[in-house]
Every structure is written in C-alpha cells, then in structure tokens.
Structure 1
Amino acid sequence: MNIKNFFEDKFVPVAAKIAKQRHLLALRDGLVLSLPLLIVGSMFIIIGELPIQAYQDFMASVLGEGWGDFVWNDIFPATTGIIALLATFGITKSLVDSYDIDGLPAGAIAVAAFFLLNTLDAENNMWNADLFGAVNMFTGIIVALVVGEVYRRIVQKNLVIHMPDSVPPSISRSFTALVPAAIIIVGGFIIKILFRLTPFGDFSGFVTGVLSAPLKAVGTSYPGMLIILFFEQLLWFFGIHGSTIAWSFVDPIIQTATVENLAAFHAGTAIPNVVAQPFIDNFLQIGGSGATLPLVIFLLLFAKSRTLKDIGRLSAAPSIFNVNEPVVFGLPIVMNPFLVVPFILGPLVIMTITYVTMYFNIFPRLIGVNIPWTTPYFISGFLATGGRIGGVILQAINFCVAFLIWAPFLKSWDKRLVLEEEGALSER
C-alpha cells in the first residue's frame, strides 16, 4: 500500500469522523459565540492605543487627557473580559442542541455552575472580574462539557417534571430544567467543598495549575505549531476542511494566550506569547490556508495557460479577503500530488520565519487584539502589532518567501497545461 492509498483508506475516514464529532463541534460553535465581541473590543483597543503621536495628540485635544480610558474601563470588561462566561454558555447550549434537546436552559445552568466552582473575593464579598476572562477559559470548557452531558442524560432518561400541554412552552421548559438544575448545582457544590480541602483551593485553581498551563506551553510552542499546521494542510489536500479540525483542538489555548498578550500590552510589560490568534489568521494564512495569495498573484501576472489565467481572475477578489476555496478546488490543489508540496511547505516555512523573528523580538509580537480573519493582508499585520510597521515588513517577507516556494511548481504546472491546451486545439 503506497502512502497516498494509506492516507485515503486509513487517515481520511478518521479525520472525517473527527470533523463531525459533536463535542468538537460544540467547542467550535461555543467559542464562535464570543467572536463578535472579541473583534469589537479589539477594534476599540486599536482606536484607543494606536501608537501615532499626532493622532493621540489630536484626540487628547478634542476629548481631553485620558480620553482612551473608556477602552479598558468600559469596553474591555464587557467584551474580551467575559469570554469564559460566553464560552461556558455557548458550548453547553451547542452540545445539548446536538442531541435534539433544547440547550438554552442547560447553558444557563452551566453559567451558574461556573460561578459556583469559583471562589468569591472574601474581603469584598464579590466576584473578581478576572474570573470571567481567558484565564478561566479551560474551567468554562470543562464545566460546559460536563454540564451538557449530565443535562442531556437526565432529560433522555425522562427524569424531569412534565407539564400539561396547555402550559406555555417557556414555562414548561423551566420546569423541565428544574431536576437537572438541582442535580448539577448540588453536584457542583460537593465538588467545590472537596477542592477546598486541597492545596488548589477551588476547581479553577486546579484546572489552571494542572491542566491549562501545560497545555498552553505545548499548544503555543514551535513544535506544536509545526505539527498542527502540517496536519491542517494535509487534511485540506484530501478535501477536508483542515482548519476546522486542526485548530479546534487548540483554539482555547490560543485565545488564552491572546488575552494574556492583551493584558501585558495594557500593563505596559513585555508581551509574553509569540503565538496568539493573529499569528495564525493574519501571518500564516496569506490569502487562506496554504498561503495561496502569492499563488493567485503568480497566476494573474505570469500564467500563460488559459485555465490558470481564468482561475487567477476568479480567485483574486476572494483571496484578498482570505477566502481561497476557489483556488484550492479550482486549480485544483485538492488531490493534486504535484501542488501539495508547496501547499504544505510554504506555511511551514513562513511559520518558522514568523515564530523565530518574533521569539527573538526582531519583529514586534502581537498585542492581543483579535483582527478579523477576512482583513486584507498587510493591513492586518499593521493592526495586529499595535500599529507597528514591523508587522507589515514581516508580512511582506512571508509573502515573498511563499511566492518563491510556489513559483517553480506553478511554472511547471502552467507549462503542462499550455501543452494540453495546444494539443486540444490541434485536434480540432
């Protein structure tokens, strides 16, 4: 059995099953729930912190000194600052919905369990707002998955209070959730008491110390990025949405690292993490997975075959906004063993360049704002690094390197298509 047949027969079916796995889908959909708020919050941070002195002076003259304080005092706590709460609710609801059960009450119960498993600030008798942010993301994920499974099992076993059909659905739904809520809250309280007897103090302390930190260290490391990126591109080659599968495992880790960078930027301290969300969306995926924008530029400028010229024109506009399905399936790159080499090699090389240069602070690290993945290249690099030209220069280097990797393969593919088109014309 050759390598291609092995992947088609053994690897691809497994990957397809993973792509449909309900818990991974719930994780993805639950995190997506917070994406609009993260992006809006990031846009306000860019507005308030853009490092252009003339701009800052102008805004201060119009709105007064400290004009940007609203970003951190008001916008940030209401958007990025509640990402763990949103994830807890969204993941639970999505998971329970996947069993054809109403997930809305389960999401509310999961949020209550999240609060229960955290500890009040005893001195002020209030919740510490830091608990709701990315530092508690893993706690929220675990609570969401456990509550979702417990809730749906109770409902499926019909251990619920049923109301007559004449009762309005909203009220009936509340009574349906009554027994699951009682069981989950009592169970959560018992877990809380048990963790008070440990050195961790509470469940969140255990998750952060034992699970979150090691996973983050692995998931945001250079070897971790290398492996994940390789499998993402390989899955795309077989026609499977590699980005959905590969990054769903590490999205919580990446989001945590992103918010840590944002906190450091706010505090004026050194940015701690090389890898954050824009590292993937805005530096590696040049025009989409596989760094295909340089490919499209090559087709527009240098292709001689009619086929490649047409694909280049059709793919140009979507590629500017990092949508590359037209070129991935139209060229095609999918199931094309010749073009898979630059499709995999290009992202691995530019990831290495980006990681190394940011690690040694040759180019600025990412300040932790979430830039929409559809933001055109070069603009995104400027914004993701807090308005620093170094981000644009690094993107330009990555673009040129990816172009040079694609070029020889595309020249050969173009020459082959020209011969095929000339042969077709001569037969007419």
Structure 2
Amino acid sequence: MKIMDKLQASLEKIMGPIAQKLSESKILSAFTAGMMHTMPISLGVAGFAILASLPIEPWQNFLTSTGIGQNMLDIVAATSSLMALFIAPAIAYFYAKNEEENGLIASLLATASFLALQPVRIIVGESSVSGLLQENLGSKGIFIAMITSMVVSFSYCKLIKKNFKLKLPESVPPNVSESLSPTFVSMIIFFGVFVVRWLASLTPAGDIFTLFNSTIALPIMGVGATPLASILVLTFATLCWFFGIHPAPIMNIYYPVIIVANTANLEAYLAGTPSSQLPYLAVALVSSFCYIGGQGNTLALSFLLFKAKSERYRALRKVAVIPNIFNINEPMIFGMPVMLNAYFFIPMISTVLFGGAYGWFVVNLLHVGDAFNPTIALPWVMPSFIGPFLTGGWRLGIATILALFIQIFIWYPFFRMADNQALKEESESQTFFTMADNQALKEGLESQS
C-alpha cells in the first residue's frame, strides 16, 4: 500500500495541477463543447447510413432501382463528411459564450473566415472551375477549422471588450445596433484572413490547407493516429482515472485526432475505398477494444458481480450493472470502488493493454474489420457488445464479445480477492455485533437478577 500511496501522491503532484488548468481552460472547454455539439449531425443521419448499408440483396436492388440508396448516401456525404464546416462555428460560439459575448456573431465570423481561406478554383484537366474542395471542408480542414474558429472568436471577444465598436445613435433599434456594432471588428478579422491567405499563396503549397496538412497535420496524424498511440493515450487516461483524476482533459486533447481519422475514413469509404483499405481503419477499431463499458473496461467487472458472495457487491450489482452496460461506469468506479482500490489497479490497466494488443491482432491479422462501415455513427451509450455488429458485421461483433470474455478472465482473480475480503469484513462485523448483543443481553439479565 505504501508503494500505491507514493505512486498516487506523485501522479497527483504532476497531473493534478495540469488537469486542473485544462479543466478551467476556456479554450479547451470551447473545443470540447464545440466538437461534442456536432455529434447530433452524425447521429441524426446514422439511420440512413445503416439502411443504405444493409447487406440484403433484394433490399440493395430496391435501393439502387429507386435511387433511394444514393440519396441516403448523399445525405451522409453532405453532413458527416463535412464536419470541419460545422466544427468552426460551434467552437467559436462556445468560446464567445464563455467570454459572455455574442456567440452568434462570433460563429458567423468564424464560418465566413474559414470559407474565405478556401481555394475557390479547382483544377480539372487543363482548365479550372469555381468550387470548394469537399476534403477541405472535411478531414483535411478540421485542424484549420479549429484554429480559425479559435483565433477569430478570441480576436472578436478581445476587440469588442476594447470597445472597437461602431457607435450608433440611441434612436437606432437595439437589434440593428447589435448587428452593426462589430463592423470595425469584422474588418480587422477579415484583413487578417486576407494576409494569411495571401502569404499561403506565395508558398509552393499554394493555399493554407495544403500547406498545413503537408507540414503540420501530416506529422501529427502520423504519430497520433496510430493504434499504438491510441492504446498509450487510453492507458494513461485509465491510470489517471484510477487515482481519481478525471480522464476527460486528457481525452479532449486527443479528440481532434480521432475526429480527423474518423472523417478521413468516412470520406474514403464514400469515395469507394474498400473497408479493408481505409486509411485509419486500425485506429478506429483497435481503440474500441480498450474501452469496453467505459474507461477502465469495467463492464467485465460489473458482470462478475453476479458471482459475488459478499452482501456489499450483491447490493452494488442492483445499481451498477445496467448503467455499465450503457457505458456509464461511475457507479462502479466510485461505488465499488475501483478507484484507489489496490485489488483493481493491475486489471484496470492491463485490460487496456491486453485489449489493445488483442484488437491489433484481430484487425491486422484476422481482418475482422473488413466489413467496417464508417458512415454509421452510434451514440456513446450504445452497449459495447452490440455496436460492433452494426458497424462491422458479425465478425467484428464476435471479436468484441471475445475481448469482453478475455477481460472477464483478467478481472476474475482480482475480483475474487476483493469479494473474499469484503466477505471477511462482513463476517467480522457480524461477529462483533453478535458478541455485542450477547454482552448486552447478559448485562440485562444480570441487572434484572
């Protein structure tokens, strides 16, 4: 226990202040809220993605002959594969809202600035046509959208607070005054956009999107969007969670990499790339084997509660198992508790590592993800052993269930030790109260005599 206490103290000393700063950061808060609030878009079209991809030949023939299938896929392409276009205004809105400024104006300025940076001439053969590249509005534009929205909303809020406003007479209606007052601010912002666009055009890349993705985004994705990086990040987040440091700040930093990888898979899939050749297939699938039932893979542990002998764990399963099936594992983390419980440190960390290694094996060597459909977005509360059947077919589903059994096997000996200890404590407590009752009864009889 002394080793655990020292490890906890060291981790809290290092990560505690960092996690506190990250949780209080208005910038990170805006990033997180903005990206999370774009999820209804992908979830809203998930039904079309599922229906358009059902591997039933008569159904597929019907979709093709009526044109319904193509329209379903077009809706998915116009929403889930254009995430950068939705992320830009969402992040700007929440940052301005955190600064108690007009979030709508900030989001409009951010969206307009993001679009103003886009190349508007597309080379087709020896000629060019007017248009915007879909990839710049999707995976290749997400990092630019994040940066643009943050710079624009930050500049907007700072300049407004510095009173760079168009002064209008009091007789002007408030709604008109509010819409015209940021005129000077918007001029300054768009001048900055012009400078960035012009400077990028002077480089061999020709535009800011090509320049950024070839010099900065490519190395980030090359390092971060790998199965190993995903496993290490999830392992570190789980380690923090064990010691009571919420993993959200760590995962929020990594979340943009996941969004870019998922969007790139979606774009490639809609362009006709087979599932087995998706650019980030392994990243999308391997991480799912490290996160069954929530951070720390507690779903396996919650199922073991049905083997509990102690009253404590029998009572806990009545309130913890069902939420954990839907990836809500706080009752397990705090109620069992898993956090700071020496019995559970090894299985909590090792299930992430073994899950990642197992996922890497089944994806790369057994090719269980060859039927993976990245157009299907599922809510985070979808049970971990059901979702893979919908997104990757029966092979991925079976592989996930086998991963769950492996995690149950890892958790079992440690759970048995914890359950026996709880049973022992309950027995000692019962013995103590029985002795106390007998003593009280004896004293009562003696007093009566």
What is the TM-score with the length of structure 2 in the denominator? 0.88
- Mapped to 1, the partners of 2:239 and 2:172 lie a distance apart of 53
For residue 239 of structure 1, report the CA deviation from its aligned partner: 2.3
- Mapped to 2, the partners of 1:416 and 1:85 lie a distance apart of 55
1:377 paired residue number: 384
2:25 equivalent to 1:21? yes
2:219 equivalent to 1:205? no
- SS of equivalent residue, structure 1 residue 375: coil
2:144 paired residue number: 139
For residue 42 of structure 1, report the CA deviation from its aligned partner: 3.0
Q: In the alignment, is the contact (CA less than 8 A) between 1:274 and 1:355 conserved in 2?
A: no
1:68 paired residue number: 69
- Mapped to 1, the partners of 2:366 and 2:116 lie a distance apart of 41
Change (3 A) 1:166 1:283: farther
Judge which range, 132-141 or 221-230, deviates more.
221-230
Residue-pair matches, total: 419
Q: Which residue identity is paired with 1:108?
A: L
Change (3 A) 1:173 1:238: farther
For residue 196 of structure 1, report the CA deviation from its aligned partner: 0.9
Change (3 A) 1:185 1:240: same
Q: Which residue identity is paired with 1:381?
A: P
2:104 paired residue number: 104
Q: 1:38 aligns with which of 37, 42, 45?
A: 42
Q: In the alignment, is the contact (CA less than 8 A) between 1:85 and 1:140 conserved in 2?
A: yes
For residue 121 of structure 1, report the CA deviation from its aligned partner: 2.3
For residue 279 of structure 1, report the CA deviation from its aligned partner: 5.0
Give the 5 Å matches for 1:302-381: 302-364=307-369, 366-368=372-374, 369-381=376-388
What is the TM-score with the length of structure 1 in the denominator? 0.92
For residue 139 of structure 1, report the CA deviation from its aligned partner: 0.9
Change (3 A) 1:279 1:151: farther
2:191 paired residue number: 186
Change (3 A) 1:41 1:217: farther
Q: In the alignment, is the contact (CA less than 8 A) between 1:12 and 1:238 conserved in 2?
A: no
Q: In the alignment, is the contact (CA less than 8 A) between 1:285 and 1:322 conserved in 2?
A: no
Unaligned runs of 5+ in 2: 123-127, 434-449
Unaligned runs of 5+ in 1: none
Q: Which residue identity is paired with 1:24?
A: L
Listed one character per residue, the Cα deviations across residues 248-294 of structure 1 (whole Å, up to 9, x for unaligned) are 122222122112222333304322213455654x5432111111111
Q: Which residue identity is paired with 1:151?
A: Y
Give the 5 Å matches for 1:268-283: 268-269=273-274, 270-276=277-283, 280=287, 282-283=288-289
- Mapped to 1, the partners of 2:43 and 2:283 lie a distance apart of 14
For residue 117 of structure 1, report the CA deviation from its aligned partner: 0.9
Q: In the alignment, is the contact (CA less than 8 A) between 2:343 and 2:415 conserved in 1?
A: no
Change (3 A) 1:367 1:214: farther
Change (3 A) 1:392 1:117: same
Listed one character per residue, the Cα deviations across residues 235-258 of structure 1 (whole Å, up to 9, x for unaligned) are 21132321x222212222212211
- SS of equivalent residue, structure 1 residue 124: strand
- Mapped to 1, the partners of 2:214 and 2:184 lie a distance apart of 33
Q: 2:421 aligns with which of 397, 416, 420?
A: 416
For residue 232 of structure 1, report the CA deviation from its aligned partner: 0.9
1:292 paired residue number: 298
- Over the aligned positions, Cα root-mean-square deviation in angstroms equals 2.0
Q: In the alignment, is the contact (CA less than 8 A) between 1:254 and 1:275 conserved in 2?
A: no
Q: Percent of aligned pairs with the same residue?
A: 27
2:80 paired residue number: 80
- Mapped to 2, the partners of 1:46 and 1:333 lie a distance apart of 36
2:437 paired residue number: none
- Mapped to 1, the partners of 2:174 and 2:242 lie a distance apart of 47
For residue 354 of structure 1, report the CA deviation from its aligned partner: 0.9
